[in-house]
C-alpha cells in the first residue's frame, strides 16, 4: 500500500506536540501501514494461544490477514490467508482446530504447514503444474521471544532482538520469568472496537496523568479495598496512598512503560487476596528470583496482577495479566483484542484472582476500558477543529532526565507519549531525505513535501 502524497513528518511531529492530521488523514494511515506495519516487526500472537497441533487463530499484520497455526509437527506457522489459485481466504473462523484449510471457491486444500495438498481436477493444469510451488505464502520473517511471536512482511531488516532492546526484560517480567510453554492464553478473548485512531490507544495505555480523573471511581474503590483488605504480605499501616509514586520511562525504539510500585488491579470484590505459591520446582525458582529482585510484597503482587505496564511498538500493550493487541483498520476505526494470561506453575487460587482482577478494570462492564474508548472518540471528534491544530505532549519535558540510555520522568509526565512519537517519526521519515525538501502547506495546514 503506497501513499498518494509525500507528507512532511518532520514538520508535523515536534518535540512537544503533534499535528491533529496524524490522527485523521487517510493518507497518513496508508503510509503507516506501509512503513510501520508492513516493513517492521509487528506482534502477532503468543504460542500459548495455539497449544495443540492443528490449533489456529486468525490474525492480521497491518491490513493483511494471517493464520497463526500450530502445524502437525508442533511448529507455529504464520500463513497469509489467501488461496494461491484465485485469491479467496481459506479460513474464516476466528479460532479452532483443524487438519487442513480448504478454499470454498474451487476446493484447493492446504495442510497446516501451508503445503498445497489437494487440487480438484489437477490434471487439467498440465504437466508443468507443481503443487510444491503453490503453498500458502508465509510471513517472510518470524521470530519469537518467550512465546511472543512477531512477524515482518519485509524479507530484510533488523533482528527481533534489536527491535525489542531493553523491552525484552519487560516481557520476562510479564510472564513471571516463565518459559513459553508455562504461559496459558486459553481463558477467552475480550474484543472491542472504537471509532478513532489507533495511536490514541497506544498513548493512553502508557498515560499516568489521566487515571485519577477519567477513572476516579475506580481509584477511590481501589484505595478503599487495599486500605481495608491488605494483601498477606503487608499490614494496613504500610500503605500511605498520598505517597503513591511511579515513573514514566522511554526505553528506546518506541517501547515505553509506566513503572509503579503499588497494587493497581484488584478484583474489588469480597474475595480474599490469596498468598502466592508455586506448584512446581521451576515455578518456585521463578518466585524466589522475583522475590530476590523486588522484595516479597511486590513480587507477590506482580504474580497476582502482572509484572509490567509496557507498550511494545507498534501494537502490543502489556497491562496487568493481559496482552492487548491494537489492530488499526482505518484512520478513524480500531479494533482491540485483550488476551488474559495464566501461569501453569501458579496455584489455582492465584490464577483465579488474576482473572477476577482483570475483569474488574478491563471487562465489558468494568471500571476502566469503557471510559478510555469514550475518550478516544471524543478526541477524534475534537480533531475536526482546525484552528490551533496541535496536540500538546509537553508535560514534564523540562524535568525529564537521561539514565543508562533511557529517558525518565515522573508518573504523570508525557515521557511515554513523546517516546512513541519519536519512534513513529523515525520510522516514517527513514529514507525520505527530509532535509533536502521544501515545504508546501495544504488548505488544512498539513505540511507536505515537494522536491
What's the rounded Cα separation, in Å, for the pair 108 and 116?
Answer: 7
Inform me whether the pLDDT recorded for 306 exceeds 60.
yes
What is the structure's pLDDT at 370? 76
Are 300 and 232 in contact, with CB atoms under 8 Å apart?
Answer: yes
What's the rounded Cα separation, in Å, for the pair 248 and 420?
Answer: 12
Domain shared by 94 and 223, yes or no: no
Query: Considering 134, 157, 180, which residue would you say is the last residue of a domain?
Result: 157
Inform me whether the pLDDT recorded for 323 exceeds 70.
yes
Q: What percent of the chain has pLDDT over 70?
A: 87
Closest CA to 46 of 352, 356, 353, 340: 340
- Higher-pLDDT residue of 451, 265: 265
| Chain centroid, CA 267 distance in Å | 23
Which single residue is written with the C-alpha cell 490469596?
Answer: 274
Inform me whether the pLDDT recorded for 248 exceeds 80.
yes
What is the structure's pLDDT at 437? 32
Inform me whether the pLDDT recorded for 23 exceeds 70.
yes
CATH code for position 55: 2.102.10.10
Which single residue is written with the C-alpha cell 497476582?
Answer: 304
Domain shared by 268 and 348, yes or no: yes
Domain shared by 314 and 407, yes or no: yes
Residue 397, judged by CB atoms within 10 A of its CB (0-12, 13-18, 19+), counts as middle
Closest CA to 172 of 290, 281, 252: 290
Inform me whether the pLDDT recorded for 212 exceeds 90.
no
Inform me whether the pLDDT recorded for 238 exceeds 60.
no
What is the structure's pLDDT at 176? 96
Domain shared by 140 and 198, yes or no: no
Task: Place 443 in a pLDDT band, splitting at 50, 70 and 90.
Answer: very low
Inform me whether the pLDDT recorded for 219 exceeds 90.
no
What is the structure's pLDDT at 250? 98
Task: Tell me the mean pLDDT in the region 230-236.
Answer: 67
Are 256 and 308 in contact, with CB atoms under 8 Å apart?
Answer: no
Domain shared by 115 and 176, yes or no: no
Q: Which helix (H) or strand (E) holds 100?
A: strand 100-102
Task: Tell me the mean pLDDT in the region 184-199.
Answer: 94
Q: What is the pTM of this model?
A: 0.90
What's the rounded Cα separation, in Å, for the pair 203 and 213?
Answer: 16
Q: Which helix (H) or strand (E) holds 330?
A: strand 322-330
Task: Place 223 in a pLDDT band, splitting at 50, 70 and 90.
Answer: confident
Domain shared by 54 and 182, yes or no: no
pLDDT in tens, 397-439: 999 999 999 999 999 999 999 999 999 999 999 865 433 333 3
Domain shared by 236 and 288, yes or no: yes
Task: Tell me the mean pLDDT in the region 340-354.
Answer: 95
What's the rounded Cα separation, in Å, for the pair 306 and 373?
Answer: 22
What's the rounded Cα separation, in Å, for the pair 108 and 94?
Answer: 20
pLDDT in tens, 82-101: 999 999 999 999 999 999 99
Task: Place 270 in a pLDDT band, splitting at 50, 70 and 90.
Answer: low
What is the structure's pLDDT at 438? 32
What's the rounded Cα separation, in Å, for the pair 142 and 298?
Answer: 34
Which residues 6+ apart lie within 8 Å of 126 measured at CB?
none
Domain shared by 216 and 262, yes or no: yes
What is the structure's pLDDT at 95? 96
- E strands, 189-244, in order: 190-194
Inform me whether the pLDDT recorded for 4 exceeds 70.
no
Query: Considering 157, 189, 224, which residue would you say is the last residue of a domain?
Result: 157
Task: Tell me the mean pLDDT in the region 311-337.
Answer: 97
pLDDT in tens, 271-280: 778 899 999 9
What's the rounded Cα separation, in Å, for the pair 390 and 430?
Answer: 23
Using the 8-state DSSP alphabet, how is residue 71 labeled? -
Domain shared by 184 and 145, yes or no: no
Domain shared by 122 and 91, yes or no: yes
Q: Strand, helix or coil at 78?
A: strand
Inform me whether the pLDDT recorded for 28 exceeds 70.
yes
What is the structure's pLDDT at 373? 86
Q: Mean pLDDT for the chain? A: 89
What is the structure's pLDDT at 258? 95
What is the structure's pLDDT at 234? 65
Which single residue is written with the C-alpha cell 514534564?
Answer: 396
CATH code for position 317: 3.90.380.10
* Cα separation values, 103 from 89, 414, 446, Å: 7, 48, 44
Domain count, the chain: 2
Which range has the worst mean pLDDT, 21-35, 162-176, 241-255?
241-255
Radius of gyration for the chain, computed over Cα atoms and rounded to the nearest angstrom: 23
Query: Considering 102, 129, 157, which residue would you say is the last residue of a domain?
Result: 157
What is the structure's pLDDT at 230? 72
| Chain centroid, CA 10 distance in Å | 26
Domain span holding position 360:
1-39+166-451
Q: Strand, helix or coil at 93?
A: coil
Cell of 143: 521470530
- Higher-pLDDT residue of 336, 373: 336
Domain shared by 20 and 48, yes or no: no
Q: Strand, helix or coil at 66?
A: strand
What's the rounded Cα separation, in Å, for the pair 175 and 182?
Answer: 9
pLDDT in tens, 133-150: 999 999 999 999 999 999
**What angle separates helix 369-382 from helix 198-205, to the nearest 10 degrees?**
130
| Chain centroid, CA 152 distance in Å | 15
Task: Place 366 in a pLDDT band, splitting at 50, 70 and 90.
Answer: low
Domain shared by 34 and 50, yes or no: no
Amino acid at each position: 500500500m503506497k501513499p498518494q502524497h509525500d507528507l512532511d513528518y518532520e514538520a508535523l511531529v515536534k518535540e512537544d506536540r503533534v499535528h491533529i492530521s496524524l490522527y485523521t488523514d487517510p493518507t497518513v494511515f496508508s503510509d503507516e501501514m506501509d512503513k510501520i506495519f508492513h516493513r517492521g516487526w509487528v506482534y502477532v500472537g503468543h504460542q500459548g494461544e495455539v497449544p495443540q497441533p492443528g490449533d489456529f487463530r486468525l490474525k492480521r499484520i497491518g491490513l493483511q490477514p494471517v493464520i497463526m497455526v500450530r502445524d502437525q509437527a508442533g511448529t507455529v506457522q504464520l500463513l497469509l490467508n489467501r488461496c494461491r489459485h484465485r485469491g479467496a481466504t481459506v479460513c474464516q473462523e476466528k479460532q479452532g482446530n483443524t487438519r487442513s484449510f480448504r478454499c470454498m471457491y474451487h476446493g484447493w486444500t492446504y495442510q497446516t504447514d501451508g503445503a498445497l495438498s489437494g487440487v480438484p481436477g489437477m490434471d487439467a493444469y498440465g504437466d508443468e503444474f507443481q503443487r510444491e510451488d503453490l503453498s500458502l505464502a508465509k510471513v517472510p520473517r518470524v521470530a519469537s521471544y518467550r512465546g511472543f511471536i512477531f512477524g515482518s512482511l519485509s524479507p530484510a531488516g533488523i533482528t527481533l532482538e534489536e527491535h525489542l532492546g531493553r523491552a525484552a526484560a519487560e516481557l520476562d517480567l510479564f510472564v513471571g520469568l516463565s518459559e513459553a510453554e508455562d504461559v496459558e492464553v486459553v481463558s477467552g478473548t475480550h474484543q472491542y472496537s472504537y471509532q478513532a485512531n489507533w495511536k490514541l490507544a497506544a498513548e493512553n495505555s502508557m498515560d499516568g496523568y489521566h487515571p485519577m480523573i477519567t477513572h476516579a471511581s475506580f481509584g477511590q474503590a481501589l484505595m478503599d479495598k487495599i486500605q481495608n483488605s491488605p494483601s498477606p504480605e503487608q499490614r494496613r499501616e504500610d500503605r500511605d496512598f498520598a505517597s503513591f509514586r511511579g515513573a514514566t520511562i522511554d526505553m528506546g525504539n518506541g517501547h515505553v512503560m509506566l513503572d509503579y510500585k503499588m497494587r493497581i488491579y484488584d478484583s474489588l470484590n469480597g474475595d480474599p487476596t490469596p498468598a502466592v505459591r508455586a506448584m512446581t520446582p521451576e515455578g518456585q525458582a521463578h518466585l524466589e528470583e522475583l522475590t530476590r529482585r523486588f522484595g516479597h510484597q511486590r513480587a507477590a503482587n506482580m504474580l497476582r496482577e502482572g509484572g509490567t505496564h509496557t507498550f511494545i511498538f507498534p501494537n502490543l500493550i502489556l497491562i496487568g495479566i493481559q496482552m492487548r493487541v491494537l489492530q488499526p483498520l482505518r484512520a478513524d476505526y480500531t479494533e482491540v483484542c485483550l488476551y488474559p494470561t495464566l501461569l501453569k506453575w501458579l496455584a489455582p487460587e492465584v490464577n483465579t484472582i488474576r482473572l477476577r482482577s482483570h475483569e474488574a478494570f478491563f471487562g465489558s462492564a468494568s471500571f476502566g476500558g469503557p471510559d478510555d474508548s469514550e475518550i478516544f472518540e471524543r478526541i477524534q471528534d475534537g480533531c475536526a477543529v482546525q484552528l490551533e491544530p496541535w496536540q500538546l505532549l509537553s508535560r514534564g519535558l523540562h524535568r525529564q532526565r537521561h539514565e543508562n540510555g533511557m529517558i525518565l520522568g515522573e508518573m504523570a509526565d508525557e515521557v511515554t507519549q513523546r517516546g512513541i512519537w519519536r519512534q513513529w517519526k523515525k520510522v516514517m521519515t527513514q529514507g525520505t531525505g527530509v532535509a533536502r525538501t521544501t515545504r508546501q502547506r495544504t488548505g488544512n495546514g498539513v505540511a507536505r513535501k515537494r522536491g
